Structure 1
Amino acid sequence: MELARAEPGALHRLLRLALEQVRGDLEGLSREHVERLAELALSGATGTVVELPGDVRVRRQYDAVTIEPDEPRAEYLPERAQLPVPGEAALPLRGVVVRAEPAVTPDGFAADDPLTAYVNAGAAARGLVLRSHEPGERFIPLGMTGSRKLQDYFVDEKVPRRLRDRIPVVTDADGVVLWVVGQRLAEPARAEAGAGAVRLSASFEPRNEEDT
């Protein structure tokens, strides 16, 4: 089918079918995502790339539209380290260090510094782990009740592709994500003002990374 001649409804159905074949499902895909893809198919410039939830990239190449899995950067192999309290842990490949120390959650604390977070003491009671995020990893963003795929969160928050595989997570002893480092605290980590907590602070080694 020539996309430019397709009726809008037929085009949307065709694109959704193609996405389902690549992804295996349509979870997290909204009407807005399909409309962006339709716009790319009809009038996008050659070389334009649209990233969609579900680790999918859609690229316009002349008269063709290619839908393909978004492959992770090969140089960022999985890493994992115990994070003692007090103490610190590092992931050398990602150039990140996270420090942990007992604290009390400040009254009216706002995450003005994205590299600082407070985790409730109960969540940290059996130990913390700093590690690379896993394929298909999910977390519950602070203030929400349902979980989201981490890669979908990165897409919606417009986190550059070159940085996503570098961003680690802090989890509890059971693997529940408490903090997407430098990005978002998770609901299970919620710390009430004045309550005992663990203060986490992260630092990233500066790097000159090119987008791919």
Structure 2
Amino acid sequence: MSAREDVDHYDWQRWIQDRHEQAIKRKLWDVGDRVVVAVSGGPDSMLLMHMLAHMEISVSNERLQLVIAHVHHGFRQEESDEEALLVAEQAALLGLPFEMTRVDAPDHAQRYGMNAQAAARELRYAFLREVAVKHKAALVALAHHADDQAETVLMRFLRGTGTAGLSGMVWKRSEAGINYIRPLLDMRKHDIVQRCASRGIIYANDSSNSKRSYLRNRLRLDVLPMLEQENPRLVESLGQMAEMMQGDHDWLESETRLFFESHVKAWNDGNSMDIEPCISKLTRDDELISYYAATYRGGCLLDRNLFLKVHVALQRRLIKLILNYLLREAEQVNYDAVERLRLMAIQEDPTTLKADVGGGVHFHREYNRLIWLLDPETVHPDLSESRQRKLWIERTATEGILQLPTHTGTITWTIASHKTDSNHTYSLKNSSEAAFDADKLQWPIKIRTRMPGDRMRVQGLNGSKKVQDMFVDMKVPPTLRDSLPVITDGQENIIWIPGVRRSDMALVQPATRSILHIGFASSLRK
């Protein structure tokens, strides 16, 4: 080995050690980790492959366990064929297992209405996950570098973004049990090319990188060089800004999640958190959730007063987090949509508002509650069809249970004799129970939902009152009014609305000989 080769070898080993120490400091990997390395054939990924292949881990000299993965995207057939062959040959020379797939990104883009780059990225990441699962690898190494970071930050800035977007790409992120790492994120592209040249690492040049039809290419070829005339260290500055923004974003995100977990009552497809198991009345948010969870497949409920107390930055993030919880694709919800909901939540009047968020989510401001609801999975049957659905109680049945189709609630009843005693009073536990003189009722007893013009004779009042007005007085959320059971006698006179009011009909008196006891319970979906 010549003196020059000795120097190059020593420089390479020192560089390898430096990259390893930085990776350990950033907790990118541990001793003996199995890593899938995404290698396109360009200088960035080829350097990454050689760096990881020559990297000795810790004092035990145990190497990382590498698997090379390459995706043939189907864009530049002949050129892509050559890139695939190059990567396969270099992986073999290094003694590394090689996995490859051919995809049709142009067809995928057309089929799903995506741009070509987004389609290629989706297919590429799907294959990387597949390889990671196959080889039981917890890490996927990507070759993004500092210039990529600068381009990403500028792209997001031009399209409009917040701190999450300006934080750019991160050194390590987790998704579905896989950690994606970027060991070269602080290296400039020209340093990567120089390192490949000094080490004799061969690579391919992607001809599409010179096409100005792509925004990223225009930024790299035209915009960044022009801006670097004003600040020669622009790429480094953008990288530093991204890292600072990432710290700010992480802290704000953790504060938002803490608030969400502490104060937002949420459920999604049966997965609920911080929810009471049953309902007894309609005045506490914890008790309302059982109604919502039984009718809507997902939702979030928040006390408006708590929302008003937090900073505007947290308000916006909280709305975005709630939409993420319900939609799973809330990145598509832009600033204007989030701000519209925030302003609806904080404005003084009126007390009730609603808005269609999109994706099946509807926002409701009801009195001092903020509610986000996903459309029901199915349209529930109308309880007014009680005869067809046999939702009634016969006088001959002494006890029973009825499952209500509007939610998982149940009506239970018993008919029992009552001793005549002037000193005896019949007690009820709460407003989810009611008792009637069974001999003074018109049978059968029916269960339905509210209907236009419904009125009820209210105990303690002269005459009747509109059910709609009772709902308003009791501040029953409009989103629940159509699902609450309405109990009537055989002549359609409303005798009870659970949790709201009881009529003045068939009151239990000292002379009552037979009592109908009705209970309503609404349990959560599991």
Q: Smaller-chain TM-score range? A: 0.5 to 0.7
Which residue identity lines up with residue 157 of structure 1 in the other structure?
M
**CA distance, structure 2, for counterparts of residue 99 and residue 140 of structure 1:** 23
Asked if the contact 1:76/1:165 (under 8 Å) is kept, the reply is: no
Q: CA deviation at 1:125?
A: 5.0
Say which is worse superposed, 99-108 or 150-159, in terms of deviation.
99-108
Match of 1:50 among 329, 334, 351: 351
Asked if the contact 1:119/1:199 (under 8 Å) is kept, the reply is: yes
Asked if the contact 1:179/1:189 (under 8 Å) is kept, the reply is: no
**Cα deviation per residue 1:34-63 (whole Å; 9 max; x = unaligned)?**
xxxxxxxxxxx6374336xxxxx79xxxxx
Which residue identity lines up with residue 46 of structure 1 in the other structure?
Q
Match of 1:183 among 493, 500, 504: 500
- Give the TM-score, by structure 1 length: 0.58
Which residue of the partner structure matches residue 161 of structure 1? 478
Which residue identity lines up with residue 382 of structure 2 in the other structure?
P
Match of 2:464 among 147, 152, 156: 147
Report 1 or 2 for greater relative contact order, CA contacts < 8 Å, sequence distance ≥ 6. 1
Which residue of the partner structure matches residue 200 of structure 1? 518
Which residue of the partner structure matches residue 13 of structure 2? none
Q: CA deviation at 1:77?
A: 4.5
Change (3 A) 1:95 1:50: same
Which residue of the partner structure matches residue 15 of structure 1? none
Asked if the contact 1:90/1:98 (under 8 Å) is kept, the reply is: yes
Q: CA deviation at 1:76?
A: 5.0
**Structure 2 residue matching 1:151: 3-state secondary structure:** helix
Q: CA deviation at 1:127?
A: 1.4
Asked if the contact 2:381/2:405 (under 8 Å) is kept, the reply is: no
**CA distance, structure 2, for counterparts of residue 193 and residue 154 of structure 1:** 31
**Structure 2 residue matching 1:173: 3-state secondary structure:** coil
Asked if the contact 1:127/1:173 (under 8 Å) is kept, the reply is: yes
**Cα deviation per residue 1:133-176 (whole Å; 9 max; x = unaligned)?**
21221101122221111111010111122322221111111101
Which residue of the partner structure matches residue 83 of structure 1? 393
Do residues 124 (structure 1) and 462 (structure 2) align? no
Q: CA deviation at 1:186?
A: 0.6
Asked if the contact 1:119/1:178 (under 8 Å) is kept, the reply is: no
The structure richer in strand per residue is 1
Which residue of the partner structure matches residue 23 of structure 1? none
What pairs with 1:101-112 in structure 2 (closer than 5 Å)?
101-103=414-416, 104=418, 107-112=424-429
Q: CA deviation at 1:179?
A: 0.9
**CA distance, structure 1, for counterparts of residue 525 and residue 467 of structure 2:** 23
**Cα deviation per residue 1:175-195 (whole Å; 9 max; x = unaligned)?**
011111232211113121461
**Structure 2 residue matching 1:118: 3-state secondary structure:** strand
The structure richer in helix per residue is 2
Asked if the contact 1:141/1:184 (under 8 Å) is kept, the reply is: yes
Change (3 A) 1:82 1:128: same
Asked if the contact 2:508/2:515 (under 8 Å) is kept, the reply is: yes
**Cα deviation per residue 1:6-37 (whole Å; 9 max; x = unaligned)?**
xxxxxxxxxxxxxxxxxxxxxxxxxxxxxxxx
Say which is worse superposed, 159-168 or 144-153, in terms of deviation.
159-168
Change (3 A) 1:145 1:188: same
Change (3 A) 1:123 1:96: farther
Say which is worse superposed, 86-95 or 137-146, in terms of deviation.
86-95
Asked if the contact 1:123/1:172 (under 8 Å) is kept, the reply is: no
**CA distance, structure 2, for counterparts of residue 90 and residue 130 of structure 1:** 11
Which residue of the partner structure matches residue 8 of structure 1? none
Give structure 1 stretches of 5+ with no counterpart. 1-44, 52-56, 59-72
**CA distance, structure 2, for counterparts of residue 139 and residue 133 of structure 1:** 11
Asked if the contact 2:411/2:518 (under 8 Å) is kept, the reply is: yes
Asked if the contact 2:442/2:491 (under 8 Å) is kept, the reply is: no
What pairs with 1:2-17 in structure 2 (closer than 5 Å)?
none
Q: CA deviation at 1:110?
A: 4.4
RMSD across aligned positions (CA):
3.1
Q: CA deviation at 1:94?
A: 2.6
Which residue identity lines up with residue 82 of structure 1 in the other structure?
W
Asked if the contact 2:487/2:495 (under 8 Å) is kept, the reply is: yes
**Structure 1 residue matching 2:472: 3-state secondary structure:** helix
**Structure 2 residue matching 1:163: 3-state secondary structure:** helix
Q: CA deviation at 1:116?
A: 1.2
Give structure 2 stretches of 5+ with no counterpart. 1-345, 355-374
Match of 1:100 among 413, 416, 438: 413
Say which is worse superposed, 189-198 or 174-183, in terms of deviation.
189-198
- Give the TM-score, by structure 2 length: 0.25
Change (3 A) 1:178 1:96: same
**CA distance, structure 2, for counterparts of residue 151 and residue 207 of structure 1:** 28
Q: CA deviation at 1:124?
A: 3.3
